[in-house]
Structure 1
Amino acid sequence: MIRFRDRAEAGQRLAEALAAEYSGREDVLVLGLPRGGIVVAAEISCRLGVPLDMVAVRKLGAPMQPELAIGAVSEGGKVLLDRDLIERLRVPEEYVESEVKRQRRILAERLRLYRGGREPVPVEGMVCILVDDGLATGSTAAAAAASLRERNPRKIVFAVPVASDQGYLRLRGMVDEIVCPQVVQDMGAVGYYYERFDPVEDEEVMELLSG
């Protein structure tokens, strides 16, 4: 099992795996998923010498288990639901509708905060390296990939330090390439694969995105 010292080290390792093909290219962008994915993405962006931006998504949390994703909503308004998990947990439809509305409101606030009035970096025709700090169910990353695909990039590469086998399989059909040094069964919490997995504050995200 690989344990990363922190998100920065995870980004460095991913950058090493990506460098040969993507370093220094003018047609490459790195796009992090807030919040933790931005820290990993910033390290990759710096080491590859390519621009950094984000794809904003919000997890839809299960009742009484907010860290368990039953779906996600993206900044483009797209909603992806894990219907199998929703049925298995017997989540009421009213709860799902309420959670979608709530997370859309939070997402709009986060976009205003993180972008500070800046427009998203254009991605049409570009190679987009989409980054998160871990992949569990895959709902959040799937929503991000679907939202990004609608903006017509030439290629989507998903880079993540650790992924569950379930999440990996889900993303494999939605992106063009996956770079992941560790795919595991019975993954548990993403933080288990880091020595330090401190919460990422909004101020750090804003600082990283502002360059």
Structure 2
Amino acid sequence: MTYADRKDAGLKLAFQLRKFVMDDCVICAIPRGGVPVAFEVAASLHFPLQLVLTKKIGHPVNKEYAIGAASLHSYFVWADEHVSEDYVKAEVERIQTRLREMQDKFITGKTKFSLKGKTVIIVDDGVATGNTILATIQLLRKDEPLKIVVAVPVASSQAYQHLQKDADEVVCLHIAEYFTGVGAFYDDFAQVTDEEVNNYLNEMEHIYQHTETNSNQ
């Protein structure tokens, strides 16, 4: 299965997520590639959308291998990873600096949604290893959601198996036995710019404010 672009993937994913339409849901997008996909899901199902400001902490030898994750206010490292405290501290400081920049650029002034007691749907454009989303799940658990659902257009079979262990539910449209990269499943996999992320978030904020105004009338 291939997708024309992230919008196409998002619309197809939204169709499969209709079963949650009566739930109290918040869509959490993994920036930046997950934002266009998540936007289509949120807009189609009338769910609020916000960014997940978390980043994986990479191993000192291989940065792509996640040993944990950091958010703006907390971090964790998996217990079986043996790395120095100095390395972790430096990486957390670096990551949190970047996350604060992203918060100022993308989130300041926009509606913040509580995740407590909600069905949280984490959306990305695809999953290769699953490490980033696995780490994100661990951090989002601290917000006490009712359940965490991972929703993606495509994932490697290995990543899918890993995600099933940590998420309450995984919705994946295509599980790929032979996985060379997320981009291989898209005709158009252009990099998502900061400007595009802001445009999606601003449009979603406008939709949300309009919906709130109508519901209060």
Please tell me the TM-score bracket, short chain as reference.
0.7 to 0.9
Q: 1:170 is matched by which residue type in structure 2? A: H
Residue 30 in structure 1 maps to residue 27 in structure 2: yes
Q: Percent identity?
A: 38
Preserved contact between residue 75 and residue 147 of structure 1 (Cα < 8 Å): no
| Deviation, structure 1 residue 202 | 1.2
- What is the match of residue 171 of structure 2? 179
| Deviation, structure 1 residue 36 | 0.9
Q: 2:43 is matched by which residue type in structure 1? A: C
CA distance in 2, matches of 1:186, 1:81: 28
- What is the match of residue 141 of structure 1? 133
Unaligned runs of 5+ in 1: none
Write out aligned runs for 1:15-94 (5 A). Answer: 15-19=14-18, 21-23=19-21, 25=22, 27-61=24-58, 69=66, 71-80=68-77
Q: What is the TM-score when the length of structure 2 is the normalising length?
A: 0.81
Q: 1:115 is matched by which residue type in structure 2? A: I
1:159-194 per-position Cα deviation (integer Å, ceiling 9, x unaligned): 011112222222212211100011223422211111
Superposition RMSD on alpha carbons, in Å? 2.5
User: How many residues of Structure 1 are paired with residues of Structure 2 in the alignment?
Assistant: 203
Q: What is the TM-score when the length of structure 1 is the normalising length?
A: 0.83
| Deviation, structure 1 residue 60 | 3.8
| Deviation, structure 1 residue 207 | 2.1
Q: Which has the larger radius of gyration?
A: 2
1:116-138 per-position Cα deviation (integer Å, ceiling 9, x unaligned): 24463111111111101111121
Write out aligned runs for 1:102-181 (5 A). Answer: 102-118=94-110, 120-181=112-173
Q: 1:96 to 1:188 in 2, by over 3 A?
A: farther
Residue 14 in structure 1 maps to residue 13 in structure 2: yes
| Deviation, structure 1 residue 100 | 3.5
Q: 1:171 is matched by which residue type in structure 2? A: L
